[in-house]
Structures are given as structure tokens and as C-alpha cells.
Structure 1
Amino acid sequence: MRRSDPRQRRIDLPSARDGKPLPRPNGLPLALGAYTIWGFLPLYIALLRHVPAFELVAWRVVFTLPLCLAIAAVRRQLGEIARGLADWRVLRLMLTSAGLIGINWVIYIAAINGGHIYASSLGYYINPLVNVLLGTVFLGERLSRLQWGAVALAALGVGALLLGASDTLGISLALALSFALYGLVRKVAPVGALPGLTIETILLLPLAAATTLWFAHGEGVSSFGHDPRISLLLAGAGVLTATPLLLFALAARRMDLSTLGFVQFLSPTIVFVLGLTVFGEALRPAQLASFVFIWAALALFSWDLWRRHAGSAKPPA
């Protein structure tokens, strides 16, 4: 039998050079990694429960910036960061997004350390539906009847909290709204995920540095530098900020948004299970009813997305 020429085999392989697209890299493991880290983040925050929320966010900013700059240097995105800082339109949007993500971080950390695990989980369950409403109002996107039905179910879930758990409703809505508005600003800002996070961190750095100095001198007690374990955990908060975002940014480029939408529910689900098991928070009837309505809304919304995606993927007859 005649052996084939190995050079011929290389020519026959699919490549961009001969007009055939290369196989698309699988982004699912990256997305699972990002949302798993975000899901288990309350366990890390609990290790720092004695650190005030404002101080923890400040150290998170301080230790995130060097890592972001290092990754940006490796990915050759320092130029994009410099251009973003020099563009006043981009800078205004980044100032807004930096404020929103800073508020979101403070509320989330305070809620976890205050024992409101379910309220935090519910906030990120509601977030995708708030995204849909913001897209309808500000971006001119249209909803199908099923998607409007999902929004109505979510509204019933919020109403259940009003009737029996109004003290936690503010936490859930604040988390959902702040992160949804953050996502809206980042959607219209002409800057990538990692450069955007780096610019936001640079803009937050003066306030973060002032906060750490205030706790060190004004309060007389700084959580960093006294206990090696606490200091190491505070430094690690920067890694836990930048790593999942980078994984998410890479996954978003390799996955369909509809598939990514399914995966995003992993994070609040993990938080919910942690509330039941590790943290042992009592689940009130009103909270359970709210979760049931939200889960039904997300199931209806996700099914409609999948149905539309499957229909658009069918080849023409």
C-alpha cells in the first residue's frame, strides 16, 4: 500500500488559508470556571467577615490593579487601556461603571457577612430579567410574549418578598439593579472586558487608597499587615476579582450568548445551596415562594431563548 505524503495531509487540514473556518474553541469550560468561582465566593468572604465591607472592597481594588496590568501586558492590551483613559467619552462611561460595580461589591459583601445569603442569590437570579427590561427601555430590544410572561412571573416573585420578607427585598433589588446597570454601561462602552476592568480599577484606586488609609489612621485599625493569614486573604481577593472576569471574557468570545445565558444561573444556584447547607440560613416561606416564581420565570425565559436559537440554527429547506 502506498503511503500518503504527510505534506499532502497538512494541505488537506481545514484552515483559514484555504477558505475553511478553523474549529471554534470550546468556551464552556471557561464559563463554568468563571461562574463556579463567583458561586463559591461567599465562602471566601466569610473568611474575612471581620473586615468591614468598605475596607474589603478597597483592598480588592488595590490588589486587582497589578494583576490586571500584568495580564493586559501579556495580552498586549496596554495600548487599549491608554486610549480609553485618553478618550473622555470612554472615561465618562467607565466612571459610571466603576461607581456601579463598587456599589455592587459593597452591597454583596455586606449582605453575605450580614447573613443574607438567599437575598444575594435572589438578586443575581433577578438580574438577567432586569437586563431584559433595560434592553427594552434603553436599547430598543423587543420581547416575545413568553418573555413578557417571564417578566410577569418575576414581578410576582418580588411581590412575594414584599408580603413576607420586605427586609431583604432591598438587598436583592439593589444587587440586581446595580449589576444590570453596570452591564448596560459596559455594553455601550467601546472597550474590552479586561481593559475596561483595568480602567475601572484605576478610577477606583484613589478612593480605595483613601479608604485603606482612613482605616489605618482614622479608625486606628487596619485589617492588612497585622495578621499574615488575613493579609494573604485580602491580597487573594484581587486574584478572585480578575480571574473569573478574564475567564468570562474569553468564554463570551467562544460561545453563543443563549448558551452563556444558561450557564450564568450556576452562580446564584451555588450561593442558594451554600445558604441551605454551609451557612444554615433559615428559608422563610415568602423567600421560598419568591424563588419558585423566579425559577419559573427563568425556565420560561430560557426555554424561549433556546427555542428561538434552535429555530434560527435550522438550515433553509
Structure 2
Amino acid sequence: MTPLRLGYLYGFGSYLIWGFFPIYLKLLRPAGPVEILAHRIIWSVLFVALLLAALRNVGFLRSLARRPRTLAGIGVAAALIAVNWGSYIYGVNSDRVVETALGYFINPLVSVLLGVFVLRERLRPAQWTALGVGAAAVAVLTVDYGRPPYLALVLAVSFAGYGLAKKRLGLPAAEGLFVESAVLALPALAYLGWLAARGGLAFGHVSAGHTALLVAAGVATAVPLLLFAGAANRLPLTALGMLQYVAPILQLGCGVLIFHEPMPPARLAGFALVWAALLIFTLDALRHGRRTRAVARATAPLTVTNH
């Protein structure tokens, strides 16, 4: 199998898992959102630690200890992904799967805004148009919900911020996930201890199957991230960008078709505006990518071979 095909396989695998993740999270009830988040963190640390030990790749921890700025960046990334995970779990288990899907549809547009305000990037006219249409979509959805779509916005901003932090850190997927989860592990353990002392811990008190599902949260968290890293190393950025819409489409399908969440006409109109913004954004990215490659080929120096 070629690296390109393997990249697509990894990419589809990661987004398929993320797309059907609401079904898994529903099975974790009656555990509360914070308890589920704590288990997700703790079992991720253990799973990735075993993986790194099997790969004999633990020496990176010593080098990180000598890089305080990197450690601070990891702390920021850990806080952002904790907010993202916690908000997503809360949304799914409070029957707001459709709104969580909206957050991941909006995410690329928020990433563009971060590029403007944090990285000082300049936008092309089509990108400004996409942002304007996206803002109109949020306005329509605010009218429909009777409030701004807070959950979707928190998910979009936290994940876009996490992506920016990861880009600046440049850590490999497994190592980065391990350190981020390790930063959060002590607060997670403290919360579970407090919950157990109050008699409110679901872990071990519902059924053997429920306990196994909570333990499996580590694998369910780490595997799609590792698949995504494999895809990112093999696919062009434009292809990876197109694949990212697979997950929210599947999440939306879960919310409407499986969990029967309402989709009134005004909400559908808001989603349609979001999809229009993403279409403009994606087509512009594809066109810009082709133009950049054409310019690179035209300006590439000729190679002279002596026979």
C-alpha cells in the first residue's frame, strides 16, 4: 500500500471514530461529565505510557525537563484540550449532539481568525467572505436557540486554540498526548477521590460492562489521535482539510437520526450558512494550493545533468 493510500486510511479511521464518539459517550452514563473526563485523562496516560514503553521511547521526558517554555506550552495545550473534552462530553450527555457538531463545523473558521489575530496572517478576499457567512450563521442560530450557541463556540475556540498550541510545540502525537494527559492526571485523580468519598462515583458501581467502557476511554481517546498523526504525516494539507468534515457530519447524523434531536427550519438554515462558508473556504484553499504549486514548478531551477 502506498503512503498516500495509507494516509487516507488513517485519516478516515480517525474521523470515523470521532464521528461516532457520541454513541460511545452515551453508554458511559450514569457517570457524570466530569467523572467521564477524569477517566478519559487517567486511562489515556496509562495506555500511552504502555505504548511508549513498548516502543522504548521514554527518553524524551528528560529533554522536556530542560525546556521550561515547552513545558508551559504543554500546560496551555492541556488546559485547552480539557475544556474541549469536558464541553464535548457535557454536550453529548445533555442531548446537545447537534450543537457539538456545529462546534466542529465552525472550528476551521475560528482557526482562520486565530491566524489573523495571533499569527498576524493576511486573509484573501474569499476567506473574509467565508468568515462573514459564518458570522451570519451564528446570528441565525442565536435567534433559533434564543441564545448564542455557547457550547459550539466553546468547542470551536478551545479546539482551534489547542491546534495552534500543538503547532507551536511541534511534539509527536504519542509523546504530546502523554505529557498533556499527565499534566491533568493529578487533578483528575483528586476529583475521583473526592467523588468516591462522597459516594457519588459511578466507576465500579454500575456493571462490569460499564466499568470496562470507562477503562476503554483511554484507548478510545488515544487511537484516533495516533491515526490522525499518521494521516498528517502522509497526506497533503488540503486533503487533510477535506477529511476533517467527516467527523461533524457523522456527529450531526448521530444527533438527528439516532438520538432524534430537533432540527427546526431556522436551525437547518443556520447550518446551511455554515456549510456555505466552509464550501467557500475549502474551494479557496484548493485553488490557492494549486496556484502555489504551479508557481513553485514554474520558478524551480532547472537541473542540468552531465553525461
Please give the TM-score of this superposition, normalised by the length of structure 2: 0.92
2:202 partner SS: coil
2:266 partner SS: helix
Match for residue 316 of structure 1?
298
Match for residue 49 of structure 2?
69
CA deviations 1:136-194 (Å, max 9, x no partner) are 11112221111111111100000111212144601110111111111111111142222
2:127 pairs with 1:147: yes
CA deviations 1:18-75 (Å, max 9, x no partner) are xxxxx64431110100011000000000111211000000011111111111222344
2:79 pairs with 1:93: no
Kept after mapping to 2: 8 A contact 1:118/1:272: yes
- Kindly report which structure 2 residues correspond to 1:131-280, keeping only aligned pairs within 5 A, or say none: 131-167=111-147, 169-218=149-198, 220-226=199-205, 227-280=207-260
Tell which deviates more after alignment, 184-193 or 145-154: 184-193
CA deviations 1:271-298 (Å, max 9, x no partner) are 0111111000011233211101100000
Kept after mapping to 1: 8 A contact 2:138/2:148: no
Identity of aligned residues (%): 37
Q: What amino acid does structure 1 have at the position aligned with 2:194?
A: W
Match for residue 45 of structure 1?
25
Residue segments in structure 2 that go unaligned for 5+ positions in a row: 300-307
Tell which deviates more after alignment, 289-298 or 70-79: 70-79
- Which one of 230, 241, 264 corresponds to residue 284 of structure 1? 264
CA deviations 1:236-262 (Å, max 9, x no partner) are 111010000000011101111111000
Tell which deviates more after alignment, 79-88 or 304-313: 79-88
2:62 pairs with 1:82: yes
Distance 1:50 1:167, change over 3 A: farther
1-structure distance, mates of 2:59, 2:122: 37
Kept after mapping to 2: 8 A contact 1:97/1:200: yes
Q: What amino acid does structure 2 have at the position aligned with 1:162?
A: T
Q: What amino acid does structure 2 have at the position aligned with 1:184?
A: L
RMSD of the alignment, in Å?
Answer: 1.6
2:216 partner SS: helix
Distance 1:246 1:59, change over 3 A: same
Task: Give aligned pairs, total.
Answer: 294
2-structure distance, mates of 1:292, 1:82: 49
Kept after mapping to 2: 8 A contact 1:154/1:294: yes
Residue segments in structure 1 that go unaligned for 5+ positions in a row: 1-22
CA deviations 1:192-238 (Å, max 9, x no partner) are 222111101110010010111111112x1321123211110001111
Match for residue 19 of structure 1?
none
Match for residue 57 of structure 1?
37
Kept after mapping to 2: 8 A contact 1:165/1:286: no
1:225 partner SS: coil
2-structure distance, mates of 1:46, 1:167: 25
